[in-house]
Amino acid sequence: MEQQYDVVVIGGGAAGLSAAVTLGRALRSVLVIDAGEPRNAPAAGVHGFLSRDGMSPLDLLAVGREEVRKYGGSIVEGAAVAARSTAEPGPGAEPAFAVELADGRLVAARRLLVATGLKDVLPDIEGIRERWGKDVLHCPYCHGWEVRNKAIGILGSGPMSMHQALLFRQWSPDITLFLNGVVEPTEEEWDQLAARSITVVDGKVASLKAEHDALSGVTLESGQTIPVEAAVVGPRMEARSGVLESLGIQPAEHPMGVGHHVETTALGGATSVPGVWVAGNVTDLTGQVVAAAAAGNMAGAVINADLMVAETRMAVEAARQGSLATVR
- Read off the pTM: 0.94
CB 17 within 8 A of CB 65: yes
φ, ψ of residue 117 to 5 degrees: the values are 75, -150
CB 275 within 8 A of CB 95: yes
Tell me, what's the pLDDT at 263? 96
User: How far, in Å, CA of 46 to CA of 194, rounded?
Assistant: 33
Tell me, what's the pLDDT at 323? 73
Collapsing DSSP to helix, strand or coil, 60 comes out as helix
The amino acid that residue 61 corresponds to is: L
CB within 8 Å of 223: residues ≥ 6 apart: none
CB 176 within 8 A of CB 154: yes
Q: For the segment 121-166, what is each residue's pLDDT rounded down to a tens digit? A: 999 999 999 999 999 999 999 999 999 999 999 999 988 999 999 9
* Strands 215-220 vs 225-227: parallel, antiparallel or unpaired: antiparallel
Tell me, what's the pLDDT at 266? 85
Give pLDDT < 50 ranges for the chain: none
Tell me, what's the pLDDT at 79? 97
Tell me, what's the pLDDT at 93? 86
CA 111 to chain centre: 20
Q: Which of 252, 296, 291 is nearest to 272 (CA)?
A: 252
Tell me, what's the pLDDT at 289? 97
